[in-house]
């Protein structure tokens, strides 16, 4: 459901009307709370928040899979360093910083 101007509430009003706003949110009307005229926080239903968190985790998993795919493509193309070379590279750079 899109946010309308009625769903934007100053923090001072949110304090007074919190129970009313919470009930509206529970029915699907998300609320933006402003502070000093700027967006401050949003009131959303906990089920929607859980959904957002699941989407975020899925996005992270997809990004990790993409990294693994690119890494495997690098290995197949021969673009990699041996463990000894990596250790030597980072051992030298660590010492050069001191």
Residue ranges covered by each domain of the chain: 5-44, 48-97
Checking if the pLDDT of 48 tops 90, the result is yes
Phi, psi values for residue 47, rounded to 5°:
-65, -40
Q: 5-44, which class in CATH?
A: alpha beta
Write the DSSP symbol of residue 80.
-
State yes or no: pLDDT of 33 exceeds 70: yes
Spatial separation of the C-alpha atoms in residues 44 and 52, rounded to whole Å: 11
Residues 6+ apart with CB under 8 A from 81: 89
In this predicted structure, the answer to whether residue 97 has a pLDDT above a threshold of 70 is no
Q: How far apart are the first and last CA of the chain?
A: 57
Percent of the chain at pLDDT exceeding 70: 92
Helix (H, G, I), strand (E, B) or coil at 21: helix
Compute the average pLDDT of residues 29-54.
95
Mean per-residue pLDDT over the chain, rounded: 90
Q: How far apart are CA 28 and CA 11, in angstroms?
A: 20
């Amino acid at each position: 459901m899109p946010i309308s101007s009625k769903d934007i509430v100053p923090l001072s009003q949110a304090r007074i009307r919190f129970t009313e706003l919470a009930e509206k949110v529970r029915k699907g009307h998300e609320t933006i709370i402003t502070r000093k005229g700027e967006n401050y926080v949003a009131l959303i239903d906990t089920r929607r928040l859980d959904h957002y968190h699941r989407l975020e985790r899925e996005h992270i998993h997809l990004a990790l899979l993409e990294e693994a795919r690119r890494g495997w493509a690098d290995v197949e193309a021969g673009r990699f360093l041996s463990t000894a070379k990596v250790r030597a590279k980072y051992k030298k750079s660590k010492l050069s910083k001191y």
